Amino acid sequence: MTDLIVEISKYLMTFLFALYTYECFSSFRGKLSDEKRQGIFRRQMFLMYLIHLDAYLAIYAVTDDIEMILFYIIQVAFVAITISCYRLIYGRSSGLLVNNMCMLLLLGFIMLTRLSIDKAYKQFGIAVGSMVITLVIPILIQKVKFLRRVPWLYAAIGILGLAVVFALGATSSGAKISIAVFGISIQPSEFIKILFVFFIACMLYEKTDFKRVCITTVLAAAHVLILVLSRDLGGALIFFITYLVMLYVATRKLFYFAGGILAGCIAAVVAYNLFAHVRVRVLAWQDPLSVIENEGYQISQSLFAIGTGGWFGMGLYQGMPEKIPVVEQDFMFSAIAEELGGIFAMCLLMVCVSCFLMFFNVAMQMKEQFYKLIALGLGTVYGFQVFLTVGGATKFIPSTGVTLPLVSYGGSSLLATMIVFAIAQGLYILRQDEGNLNEKKDGTKRRRTGTKRRKTGFDEEVEDFS
Amino acid sequence: MKKWKIFRKTGTARKKNTKNREFAVITYSFLGLFLCLMGYFGYFEQVKSEQFINNPYNKRQELFTQSVIRGEIYSADGVTLAETLTDDAGNETRKYPAGRIFAHVVGYSTHGRTGIEALANFSLLRSNIFYMEKAVSDLQGEKSPGDDVTTTLNYEIQLRAFDALGSYDGAVVVMEPETGKILAMVSKPDFDPNTIAQDWDELVSDESSSVLVNRATQGLYPPGSTFKIFTTLEYIHENPGYEDYSFYCDGEYTVGRKTIHCHGNKRHGQENLEDSFAESCNSSYASLGLTLDIDRFATLCEDMLFNTELPTTLEYSKSSFVLAPGDSESAVMETAIGQGKTLVTPFHMALVTSAIANDGVLMTPYVIDHVNDNEGNLVRLYQPKEYGMLLSENDAAILQQYMKAVVDEGTATKLKNDNYEVAGKTGSAEFSSSSDSTHSWFVGYAHKDGKPDIAVAIIVEDSGIGSEYAVPIAQEIFDEYYKEEE
């Protein structure tokens, strides 16, 4: 009977999540009335609750533990309150971002419950705390004006923070990425990513003359270098790509972007020849089975998990995701692919892509360059991190050991990502206000702000994308 | 209103018509990356994963045993080599009807996994029956029948080789050079895979005979005179005028304090390179060995799969060639005649022989021919694959000629017959300085129009000279293989 429930819930979840993913992208369609859009988000919410219920039914069926039911109810309450808060406080927040944030959090809870209930509780606690903290961010981002005036502060905190980790950080699997503060292990680089984006936006939003670009580049390079020295290659790559993208959009010079990529490639070759740990990663990527007892073990286990799961997965508790070292942090994608199936994992990736597109959408429509760059930078950080972690888990690229935002276990990553989402919400709301202002400026008095308001908020270019 | 002014003042609000070209570049780059990633993910799930997860390190395979009855293993000629019987109470027993004959190559799955049972574990535990049927048996709580694996092994040849080896320890490998199909693989001492679980403690405690080791692929032996194949090849490479080689053999050859004897101190008299090879003249090879460039010799051997991985997923040992420049003359002389520290596996020798027979091209050896589902529908067919050139066509032709001479007028004349042509090389490898006894070797191949050639590598441990013990086994195998045509 238990098997039957797990089997059925597996197929049902795949189906529901595929629908959910479809709705994500259907919300991007250009000419949607406000009602229709709201309808999509309502359906998404409904699907989200169903998937969550479905998963916890299976979990309860297997564990037969009443605690699971309680935990489930608390989670539902948390999500309901979160969505209501955004509704009440920020009426014009992006439904897609709120839904996706909750959906990804719930998926994380589900998989963590299955993998390690203690970690699930901890993660849930952090999520609640983060939600409370980040709820004020959308207002702050609009009201606090000095944010754009303190580039040096951002850079100083960023470089100093990374340097402290480099000097004092604890080494885990070869990389120094975390530091213990009052007994709590935190990963400063997760937060410094955000500061880094603010720093570059500050530097480049007004002027992009050569001198300014040079100074910015030197300071950005300092961030990247410290990360490389700490052996946090994933982090270094994210900072590097984010900088290039922001520089390119700010200066509009393809030359910078192409040159940067080229320099990056050269640096990669040099690093490959200089550092053994880089070569090891590449070797484990090229042929993990040949070094399966050591370097290739993790990626091989990840691929075993994905491959054995197949398109429909083994069902919750039916696989062996715990065989993958640090599965809760770096290989959540593989664990999900194993037990919930390849189709589900593919949908998960697409949901992440829809978040990324939303960030870029916001960036494109912001009128003010500073905000534009912020949204762009954060979108890049998010998108590239998703790419690194999924690419690493599937052996598409060498594994760099970064987390899947919102899904993976880890307080710093969770809080930082929720800050990013909250900032994006703030900008989204701001953008709509800009749209409103435009309208008034144009002298058109429309009570019903629906379609038209949005339309003015959209550039032509944006509609092409959607 | 106020905000709008800010835009104007700072001048950063871009004109409405400005195209977001940069955004397009970045967004599409990212989307491109994500699409590639998804494409790769789909490709992995659909195509690559099956091969990848069939790995002994993948502990997840155990999960399948709960819902699938392990499939059957067949020989190429349709004999059941392994099957799972379920009694009324639902207990499963893995049966090996061919017992000891296929013990090592088919392996076992009741106490760990080896051989084909390990290699094809994943296929045997996969059920490719119709999806609805599987769903129905899932819901009824019944197990589905796993897929069946058909090997390239030929029951008749395996049986003949097994019998021919008799009570000797040793190994036989039979291959089809054109395709790389392994037709037979025998290793003795053997064990009964049906009772492996019961006999386990006894088998592993017996360290001296190491019954469980598949000597065909894992047994490391001194190659003896079969190594002259490599020495000859290196000499030919270094001496374009090799046809003018001449040596007078008086039964032994001495340099410094080291004397190399020909077998039985036989005087071979005046001989050229081909004669030396055919007669397996140790004196001649010790002498020409000293002229070789050791670095180049080592490179040649490495090209011929010494000290390297073999192209197989069977468990095997690496052959080793350790001679280095600066080693003593006696070491060089010994290595040249296949003694010294050189060690080979019979499987490696079979690959080299196959490559020679196949004009230099080595086909990747394989032992699983195809996988069927329980209803007989083909799930996967394994095709012959080229591994690469081990030696040039010209080199292969010379060695073919020399190996024919061994049969026509040399140490393996027993194999001369009217039915098929044979070429090969015998060997008698000394394995202990305290004993006169030798391992008896034969490597070679047979040809007859209308049927693919077959190559063999045979070692009979602690028996005597190659021509007396290994050669007759080769003859039995060739007779068996070519008998149908008669």
Contacts 24+ apart (CB under 8 A), B107-116: B107/B193, B108/B193, B108/B196, B109/B70, B109/B82, B110/B193, B110/B196, B110/B197, B111/B196, B111/B197, B111/B200, B113/B56, B114/B212, B114/B214, B114/B315, B115/B214, B115/B314, B116/B73, B116/B81, B116/B82, B116/B149, B116/B151, B116/B367, B116/B368
> Residue B264 has what pLDDT?
81
Position A454 confidence tier, pLDDT thresholds 50, 70, 90:
very low
- Contact: A387, B38; criterion CB under 8 Å: no
Mean pLDDT, chain A, as a whole number?
87
The reported pLDDT for the residue numbered B7 is 36
pLDDT of residue B131: 59
Residue A439 has pLDDT above 70, yes or no: no
Segment A85-90 shows an average pLDDT of: 89
Contact B45 A440 (CB under 8 A): no
**Higher pLDDT, residue A209 or A52:** A52
What distance in Å separates the CA atoms of residue B454 and residue B457, rounded to the nearest whole number? 10
**Band (B456; pLDDT cuts 50, 70, 90):** very high
Is the omega angle on the peptide bond into residue B189 within 30 degrees of 0, that is, cis? Answer: yes
Fold: same for B61-151 and B159-485: no
For the cut 80, the answer to whether the pLDDT of residue B276 exceeds it is yes
Question: Residue ranges per domain, chain B?
Answer: 61-151, 159-485
Question: What's residue B19's pLDDT?
Answer: 53
What is the token pair recorded at A233?
A: 């290659």
Interface size, chain A vs chain B, as Cβ–Cβ contacts under 8 Å: 142
Q: What is the pLDDT of residue B197?
A: 81
Return the half-sphere exposure (C-beta side, CA atoms, 13 A cut-off) of residue B115: 28
Q: Check whether A402 has a pLDDT greater than 60.
A: yes
* Cα(B360)–Cα(B353) distance, integer angstroms: 9
Of the given ranges (B119-128, B129-138, B153-162), which has the lowest mean pLDDT? B129-138
Q: Is B40 on the interface with A (CB under 8 A)?
A: yes
Say whether B30 and A356 touch across the interface (CB within 8 A).
yes
Mean pLDDT of chain B: 87
Which pLDDT belongs to residue B5? 35
Q: What percent of chain A has pLDDT over 90?
A: 56
Per-residue pLDDT at A464: 35
Q: Where are the alpha helices (DSSP H) in A275-368?
A: 276-286, 297-309, 327-330, 332-340, 342-365
Poorest-confidence range of A143-152, B240-249, B356-365? A143-152
Question: Residue A463: is its pLDDT beyond 70?
Answer: no
Determine phi and psi for A353, rounding to 5 degrees.
-65, -35
Phi-psi region of B432 (alpha: psi -120 to 50; beta: other; left: phi over 0): beta
B159-485 CATH fold: Beta-lactamase (3.40.710)
Q: What is the pTM of this model?
A: 0.71
* Range in A392-406, B48-62, B85-99, B234-248 with the lowest mean pLDDT: B48-62
Residue to test with chain B: of A11, A147, A304, A365, most B Cβ within 10 A? A304
Q: Is the pLDDT of residue A459 over 80?
A: no
B/e letters for B11-34, b = 16+ CB within 10 Å, e = fewer, are ebbbeeeeebebbeebbeebbebb
Burial A236-257 (b: 16+ CB within 10 A, else e): bbbbbbbbbbbbbbbbeeeebb
Partner-chain residue, chosen from B7, B12, B48, that has the shortest CB–CB distance to A206: B12
Give the pLDDT band (50/70/90) at residue B130: low
> Does the structural domain B61-151 have CATH classification 3.40.50.10420?
no
What per-residue string of b and e applies to A81-96 under the rule 16 or more CB within 10 Å gives b? ebbeebeeebebbbbb
| Inter-chain residue contact B57 with A7, CB threshold 8 Å | no
- DSSP 8-class letter at B262: P
Cβ atoms of B315 and B218 closer than 8 Å: yes
pLDDT > 90: percent of chain B? 57
The yes-or-no verdict on residue A444 having pLDDT over 60 is no
Mean pLDDT of A325-333: 91
Structure confidence at residue A432 (pLDDT)? 80
For the segment B414-422, the average pLDDT, to the nearest whole number, is 90
| Three-state secondary structure call for residue B424 | strand
Of B12, B48, B60, the CB nearest to A205: B12
Helix and strand numbers, DSSP H then E, in chain A: 20, 3
CB within 8 Å: B63 and A310: no
- Residues A233-276: pLDDT tens digits? 899 999 999 999 999 999 888 888 899 999 999 998 998 898 88
More confident residue, B248 or B466: B248
Query: pLDDT higher for A34 or B458?
Result: B458
Checking if the pLDDT of B464 tops 50, the result is: yes
pLDDT tens digits for range B179-194: 999 999 999 999 999 9
